[in-house]
Amino acid sequence: MKILVLFGHPAYERSNYNKAMLQGIEQLENVTFRDLYEIYPEMDIDRYAEQEILVAHDCIIFHHPMYWYSAPAIFKEWQDLVLTHGWAYGSKGNALKGKCFFNVLTTGAPRIAFNIGEYQNHTVREFLLPYNQMACLCKMLAFPPFVVHGTHLVEEERLQQAHEDYHAVLKLLAADKYDSEKVMKMDYLNELLEGK
């Protein structure tokens, strides 16, 4: 499986976890990495170039920090310009049909904060519902997110674990070593690593 990682972080230079997670990602087999803010600093997204890249991949990832329960602005601009009617969705929009999609995100809050009745009062998957629906509208498989919680705790061991877990999940997906039916029932894609 060919994986496309679309990364967007407007304050990447201050993000210890994203730096750790992305270290060496461009060397992973069958993984293409694109930093949207670096490629499009003026957010002048090239629709046709992006569509061509999407067609060449089997799995699309939005990798970002959680900003106000969503992704940074460049992802909305990207969606608006790239996912056009008749190409990505609609009766004749089948360019992305059958591809998988999921979010990779970092958040300062611990996982327990995203339980009903806790501080955030909604699960991460509930906050990401618009992205899941985007995937469904485009006839893609909406996988659960890969999430790194508690990023305010900057400890070398935790940074290394985030790096190792993320790369391990990407390798499993690239090698098609997963059961999509089981994956769809998971809360987090991190669960792919359980028992490995």
pLDDT in tens, 116-128: 888 888 889 999 9
Say how many domains are in the chain.
Answer: 1
pLDDT at residue 195, as a whole number? 60
pLDDT at residue 116, as a whole number? 85
Query: Which pTM was predicted?
Result: 0.95
- The CATH number for 146's domain is 3.40.50.360
Tell me which H or E stretch contains 62: strand 59-65
pLDDT at residue 13, as a whole number? 86
Residues (pLDDT < 70) of the chain are 195-196
State which residues form the domain around 111.
Answer: 3-193
Residue from 122, 130, 115, 36 nearest 78 by CA: 36
pLDDT at residue 194, as a whole number? 86
d(CA 131, CA 127): 9
Question: Which residues is 62 bridged to in the sheet?
Answer: 6, 103
CA distances from 98 to 27, 41, 102, 106 (A): 26, 31, 13, 26
C-alpha of 149 from chain center: 15
